A and B are shown apart, each in its own frame.
Chain A
Amino acid sequence: MMTPQDIPLYEEVVNGFNRLSAADALGRESSDLRRTRQSAFERFRESGFPTIKNEDWKYTNIARWLKDEYALGGIPGGSGGAAAYGAVAENVRAAVERARVAELDAYIVLLVNGVWQKEDAGGLPKGVELLTVAEARQDPALSGYFERPADGRERYFAALNTALFSDGLFIRVDAGALPAKPLHIIHVFTADHNLLVQPRHVWVVNRQAELKVIESVVTAGVGTGAEAADDKGQATAKIWVNSLTEIIVHSDAKVDHTVVQTPGERTRLVQHTTVRQKRQSLYNNYNFTFPGADLVRNDLQIRLEEDHTETHLYGLYLAAGQQLVDNHTLVDHQKPACFSNELYKGVLLEQSTGVFNGKVYVHRDAQKTNAFQQNNNLVISKKATIDSKPELEIFADDVKCSHGSTVGQFSEEALFYLRARGISEDTAKGLLINAFAFDVTEKIKTAAVEAHVNQLISQHIPLTHA
């Protein structure tokens, strides 16, 4: 068992934070924000990085990735800005091309290591305002979003992000605004030496407004820089992304949020998303994770803070290689008459590991709650594993709740039917994986995005490794 002191990154962030405080690099920030950072930092120092002894990380052992050293990137007050990425601009451009969704008419917003590349931004839709978080947190009218995070008691990665985040994207949609096109936010992460990047994003969607966002997470040649190569010229640089997004959906507002995660090897991605929903708001999340990154851990927390909300969570994870993909979701029914529905599906290939934990918490006040959850997994290879755990905690009596979880292999009957029509075994398996994923992909409302996701599925379907 590693103690926190044995983890190079722990030392790096502790020293980094102390250095910053001593140098008063945070001095330009409000005293409230500094206090928030300080207390988050204390919590992180206490909790350290999670181990399998922590209930929420029981099946997700990250020790092997914490053996690597990482430099703290883009710290508050530091530069870490766009200029630093000039050298890899070509890689970044290639990554952006990969992230692009064909035939999608959208406003493209490009972020490199969490920093918005404003010069690339086209005209923004009316009623939508974009700022860098660096700007927004200096604005007295907006700084509250950073001073008082949704959860003031978080630990581990979320606490670390609060303590040391530097930049990200701030989105505000005016009340009643109905932007004609979706935003396509492309997050490119890149490093030529081992790096920890901690973006933080805040979206505020005001009353009766609508926002459609597609987020693509890609890496640009992580580890392809000259210094990063070993003596065989093999790339070795690693990047740890610890990203946090807070979304506030005000009453009667609607948010449609699609996330496509396709970062490459040597990427360790921890994405924490907290959504706060107000009265009669609607929030839809579609999350797609594909092979590539070593680790993907998504924490998606939906806090239903007022009544009559509606929430749909759809997820598809396709894991391969030695990959570990972990989806933790929480739907926190605090108030009456809210509806939530969740469907996550997983396809586990090769030696991959999948983890699904779906928590539904129904408070005593949350009468007339409707909460449904389903997790289905297709384990293709004998060496792949899945740990699926639905958790329902219900303290109200007048509720309708259900959950279910399945783990299965290919249906022999279905495979035989397809093969008996002349279709090869591999193609038949591909068709069946697509069919399995279909329940989730068909939920995507934008045809271009659906096609994009289907194309990614086909691209990663095992034809020989199964």
Chain B
Amino acid sequence: MLIIKNLHAEVEGKQILKGINLTVGAGEVHAIMGPNGSGKSSLASVLAGKENYEVTEGEVIFQGKNLLEMSPEVRAREGVFLAFQYPIEIPGVSNINFLKTALAEIRTHKGLPPLDAKEFLRLSKEKQKLVEFDAKLVNRSLNEGFSGGEKKRNEIFQLAMLEPALSILDETDSGLDIDALRIVSKGVNKLRSANNAFIIITHYQRLLEYIVPDFVHVLYNGRIVKSGTKELALELEEKGYDWLKEEAHENAPTI
């Protein structure tokens, strides 16, 4: 589904991603962990098409197409979804109208007819239930005055509505209370299928107990320095990142 090859990217002249290689197959869940500032959100932003990141080297193939050539909206319509680490508030844009517009544009792109008001409402009700998203929030301005956890839950509600092929969850777990974490994870697990894939960025092993990953990667200093299975997450929980940092420095290419 997704092939990232030797991806280098910089922001404001600063090199952030320094050669990422990652392959995500359909039906898989990949977890990405790593210390603060290592480039996890940057990778997510580059995949979603944020324009202040400049890709200086490498390529990204998504479902056989060159992802990097597409505008952010086309990536979304093709099936890439980023649940933001810090979802922003947009006062004056109603949550539901925004979703209606997004879904309509995605469906048009896929050659599907638009949903009528009734079908949309039914779908929205169904997905609200799935992530137990408060109906009152649905009609409010986009994220305006939402609590941290409500914003995160709204991201997953949107994900459920838009049914992307590749979902990237950037620290969706931080800010969620214990119950919310369980609910959101349950929702994500229900959405998992053989046809879609998830990249889950997290600092905590707890989320990975609910959403069990097929692979765990550690990103450090713009590179994936270690990959493994879910046991790696447990090991990290215990030992922290220092041992990996040392290894990484030993293995870093000398100039």
Contacts and interface: CB of A to CB of B under 8 A. Distances in A.
Contacts of B76: 419-423
A425 interface: yes
Contacts, number: 80
Contacts of A428: 73
Contacts of B105: 422-424, 427
A412 B72 CA distance: 13
A240 to B, nearest CB: 36
Interface stretch (A14-22, A67-75, A434-442): A434-442
A417 B84 contact: yes
A428 B76 CA distance: 14
Most chain B C-beta atoms within 10 Å of own C-beta, residue among A414, A419, A421, A423: A421
A432 B93 contact: yes
A185 B71 CA distance: 47
Contact of B101 (A431, A432, A437): A431
Contacts of B228: none
Interface stretch (B3-11, B45-53, B125-133): B45-53
A417 B109 contact: no
B156 interface: no
Contacts of A413: 88
A395 interface: no
A435 B102 contact: no
A57 B72 CA distance: 45
B88 A417 contact: yes
A419 B91 contact: no
Contacts of B71: 419, 425
Interface string B74-109: 011100011010011011110001110111011001
Interface string A380-418: 000000000000000000000000000000011110111
Given A424-B73, A425-B71, A438 B91 contact: yes
Interface in B96-147: 97-99, 101-103, 105-106, 109, 141
Q: Is the interface of A mostly helix, strand, loop or mixed?
A: helix
B93 A435 contact: yes
B153 to A, nearest CB: 16
Given A423-B101, A425-B71, A435 B90 contact: yes
Given A419-B72, A422-B106, A438-B91, A431 B98 contact: yes
Interface string B214-246: 000000000000000000000000000000000
Interface residues of A, number: 24
B88 A438 contact: no
Most chain A C-beta atoms within 10 Å of own C-beta, residue among B52, B76, B81: B76
A422 B73 contact: yes
Contact of A421 (B91, B92, B98): B98
Nearest to B101: A423
A425 B51 CA distance: 13
B102 A422 contact: yes
B41 to A, nearest CB: 13
A429 to B, nearest CB: 12
B200 interface: no
Contact of A419 (B52, B73, B97, B158): B73
A431 B93 contact: yes
Interface string B141-172: 10000000000000000100010000000000
Given A423-B102, A431-B98, A416 B92 contact: no
A168 to B, nearest CB: 37
B225 to A, nearest CB: 28
B84 to A, nearest CB: 7
Contacts of A417: 84, 87-88, 90
Interface in B33-53: 48-52
A438 B92 contact: yes
Contacts of A416: 50-51, 72
Contact of B48 (A420, A424, A427): A420
B210 to A, nearest CB: 25
A236 B92 CA distance: 40
A425 B75 CA distance: 13
B242 to A, nearest CB: 34
A418 B101 CA distance: 10
Interface string B2-31: 000000000000000000000000000000
Contacts of B49: 419-420
A25 to B, nearest CB: 53
B92 A439 contact: yes
A5 to B, nearest CB: 51
B90 A414 contact: yes
A238 to B, nearest CB: 37
Contacts of B106: 422
A364 B178 CA distance: 59
Nearest to B75: A420
A155 to B, nearest CB: 40
A42 to B, nearest CB: 50
Interface of B: 48-52, 71-73, 75-77, 81-82, 84, 87-88, 90-93, 97-99, 101-103, 105-106, 109, 141, 158, 162
13 contacts: A412-B52, A418-B93, A419-B72, A420-B49, A420-B73, A423-B73, A427-B105, A428-B73, A431-B90, A431-B97, A431-B101, A435-B93, A436-B92
Given A414-B88, A423-B98, 14 more contacts: A417-B84, A419-B49, A420-B49, A420-B73, A420-B76, A420-B84, A421-B98, A421-B158, A422-B102, A422-B105, A425-B73, A432-B90, A435-B90, A435-B93
The 7 A-B residue pairs with the shortest CB-CB distance in the complex, in nearest-first order? A435-B92, A438-B92, A422-B76, A421-B102, A419-B72, A422-B106, A419-B73
